[in-house]
Structure 1
Amino acid sequence: MPHWSVYTGSNKPHDGIAELPDPPPWRAFDGGPVLPPPADTEDESAISPDRVHRARTYVATPESVQLVNAALCLRRPLLVTGLPGTGKSSLAYAVARELGLGPVLRWNITSRSTLADGLYQYDPLSRLYAARADGARPESDGVADHLRLGPLGTALLPYDRPRVLLIDEIDKSDLDLPNDLLNVLEEGQYEIPELVRAARHSADGTAEVRTAGTDTAVTVTKGRVRCRAFPFVVLTSNGEREFPPAFLRRCVQLKLLVPDRARLTDIVRAHLGDIDERTESLINAFLHRARAGELATDQLLNAIYLTGVAGLDAASREQLAEHLMPYLSTAEDSDGF
């Protein structure tokens, strides 16, 4: 491996992140006070069977290993494009597990998502009700009690090791969101106006704020957050839209292709163990059907598992497998990808 590579794609956890080269001068951040990365057990969603299994079984390509390391070294987001089922989001979990970077922070994007959603959520009504109930002035009550950092806001805290942030399906966002992300990801910092104002009425200007995924509180000073280790940001896209050039030039870009026979066999073996004659026949059927339309790898995994559990004969197995592998789109629909 080149000396600048820390991610190997082996799925074997190690402490190689400590060998990550220093950032380029224009990507060096100095936020503080320094925070240790949280344990996986601090975020219950991080230890769900789905996330744990995907992290352990991900089959990386040489290109994905190289470009993950490029993004880590350059402290740049990794934009991963590919058809559904090619392992775009699983890559984030695999990197986090191998390098021991703690639970993955996930931000699922919709057409209504805004930058503020990713940074923090603030409930002014609950604050007002609490202030009235306590007879306190709004300026002096606990603003931080009604505020929680979002996935992006948490990832940019001054951790001593990069957090992993998965921004899933960025292509489903409003047209403005990629541009709105530019400044925050470029500067590695942001402000929380509610805490900036509250700091004027605080002796030391600090507030204890809850983070995404847990009830752990961190100290925010004067309403400003600045990262120390730039997070490993994975943005996934199904290729449903184009992004502005200004956004693209700030990302390392990786395109995941549909797995060929060799990689598909490796994926099946990683998930389900040894390949037998029954499994081989289903892989062949999957590859044959994939010539006429779009299929996802998890459809094949479902078919192999279920037909094996059911103990069907060859004819019944093929019939059930066909029902479990319907086309997601036709070949004509996929030509424009």
Structure 2
Amino acid sequence: MNFPFYIGDGTRKRYESPAKLSVSARSQLLKPEYYTADQGLKDACNVALLLGQPLLLTGEPGTGKTQFAYSVAWELGFDPPLKFETKSTSAARDLFYTYDALKRFQDAQSGTVSASFSDYITYQALGLAILRTRNPAEVEQILPSNFPHSGKARSVILIDEIDKAPRDFPNDLLNELEHMYFRIPEFGNKIIEADPALQPILIITSNTEKDLPDAFLRRCIYYDIPFPKHERLAEIIANRLGLHTGSSNPFLQDALNLFYRLRAPQSGLRKKPATAELLGWLLALQTLAGNTANPLTKLDVILPTLSSLVKTAEDQEKAKKLVEQWMLEHKKIIQIG
């Protein structure tokens, strides 16, 4: 194995030049072409596309809500989604644009203020998408001098983790999301509307940390992504990692068996591992085990990789005991078999 692992025992000589790390295998898992949606998610997406409404997705962290937006954009031939990462301080206007009043004041003080007010505006995800549905000539007066506008186009928008925002955030977006427009008070309250023929595709995710207003929910198509059951999860793993031997693959079946053991209520883990963590764990196991057909037959391979699956100190202690118990049971099963 040529991977330059860290040893950290005080005896290793320093590399003469920076170690060459290979491209992370995990990054390959995030490619949108590998995404597989369940039937309910496909149906909800198609209804949202048909009616031109936002698609609101909930579900456990790690069930693929965010990656779904990239899958839709890739499959339908659009550019990657314009992403808005919701913060606890986000205001509705931030979804469309931000205005740097401080920079304009400083430039005015120094005598370098731009003649164009628009040079102090930065358009954000949904603002960009709406602008891109219009001909450049229609909106050139409100575009910064360095704004790239190559022609009319439809965009996919991802509003990620909207439940992190203050409660007023979704309430302040009701009309704008329904009619796809926004105002710029700094330009005399100018209204910019999306061309209906190129209305942006809007996907919103929530981890349900707080309830969303009813008026907001009425304007969305809704789907809760369920945590995949054994057969569905095996399909996801096979598609992402190339383990296409299904039930005949001992590594895949043992991994799922142990994974669901860790997720079970009886495990006592405070934070249950998710699908994304499972995929990373399997990659780590495969790398550390070298040519071993089934890394889950070796406790000294499993335990060092638990940090990718279990994320609190208390849970890691519980997980180690569960793994050791699982290994004892597994050996008994092999002996009986």
Superposition deviation, residue 143 in structure 1 = 0.6
CA RMSD of aligned residues (A): 2.5
Superposition deviation, residue 51 in structure 1 = 9.0
Aligned to 1:319: 303
The one-letter amino acid paired with 1:297 is: T
Structure 2: tracts of 5 or more residues without a match: 1-25, 134-151, 290-294, 316-337
Is the 8 Å Cα contact of residues 109 and 169 (structure 1) preserved in structure 2? Answer: yes
Superposition deviation, residue 185 in structure 1 = 0.6
Aligned to 1:150: 124
For the pair 1:225 / 2:199, whether they are aligned, the reply is no
- d(CA) in 2 for partners of 1:323, 1:142: 52
The one-letter amino acid paired with 1:125 is: L
User: Given the alignment, which residue of 164, 181, 195 partners 1:172?
Assistant: 164
For the pair 1:234 / 2:203, whether they are aligned, the reply is yes
1:14-43 alpha-carbon deviations (Å, 9 max, x no partner): xxxxxxxxxxxxxxxxxxxxxxxxxxxxxx
The one-letter amino acid paired with 1:79 is: L
- d(CA) in 1 for partners of 2:188, 2:28: 36
Aligned to 1:255: 224
For the pair 1:303 / 2:281, whether they are aligned, the reply is yes
Aligned to 1:90: 67
Aligned to 1:183: 175
Is the 8 Å Cα contact of residues 29 and 240 (structure 2) preserved in structure 1? Answer: no
- d(CA) in 2 for partners of 1:51, 1:173: 31
Return the structure number with greater helix share.
Answer: 2
- d(CA) in 2 for partners of 1:241, 1:134: 47
1:70-91 alpha-carbon deviations (Å, 9 max, x no partner): 1111111111000000000111
How is 1:1-337 mapped onto 2 (pairs within 5 angstroms)? 50=27, 53-134=30-111, 141-159=115-133, 161-196=153-188, 223-228=190-195, 229-275=198-244, 276-292=249-265, 293=269, 294-311=272-289, 314-326=298-310
Is the 8 Å Cα contact of residues 158 and 226 (structure 1) preserved in structure 2? Answer: no
Q: For 1:156, what is the secondary structure of its paired residue?
A: helix
- d(CA) in 2 for partners of 1:90, 1:83: 13
The one-letter amino acid paired with 1:149 is: Y
Superposition deviation, residue 231 in structure 1 = 1.4
Structure 1: tracts of 5 or more residues without a match: 1-48, 198-222, 331-337
- d(CA) in 2 for partners of 1:324, 1:158: 40
Q: From the superposition, tell whether residues 162 and 135 of structure 1 become closer, same or farther in structure 2 (CA, over 3 Å).
A: closer
Q: For 1:289, what is the secondary structure of its paired residue?
A: helix
Greater alpha carbon shift after TM alignment, 272-281 vs 181-190? 272-281
- Counting aligned pairs with the same residue, the percent is 33
Is the 8 Å Cα contact of residues 63 and 276 (structure 2) preserved in structure 1? Answer: no
Q: From the superposition, tell whether residues 135 and 263 of structure 1 become closer, same or farther in structure 2 (CA, over 3 Å).
A: closer
Q: For 1:224, what is the secondary structure of its paired residue?
A: strand
Q: From the superposition, tell whether residues 288 and 235 of structure 1 become closer, same or farther in structure 2 (CA, over 3 Å).
A: same
- d(CA) in 2 for partners of 1:234, 1:297: 21
- TM-score of the two chains, using structure 1 as the length reference: 0.69
- d(CA) in 2 for partners of 1:50, 1:104: 17
The one-letter amino acid paired with 2:67 is: S
Aligned residue-pair number = 254
Q: From the superposition, tell whether residues 51 and 244 of structure 1 become closer, same or farther in structure 2 (CA, over 3 Å).
A: farther
Is the 8 Å Cα contact of residues 66 and 160 (structure 2) preserved in structure 1? Answer: yes
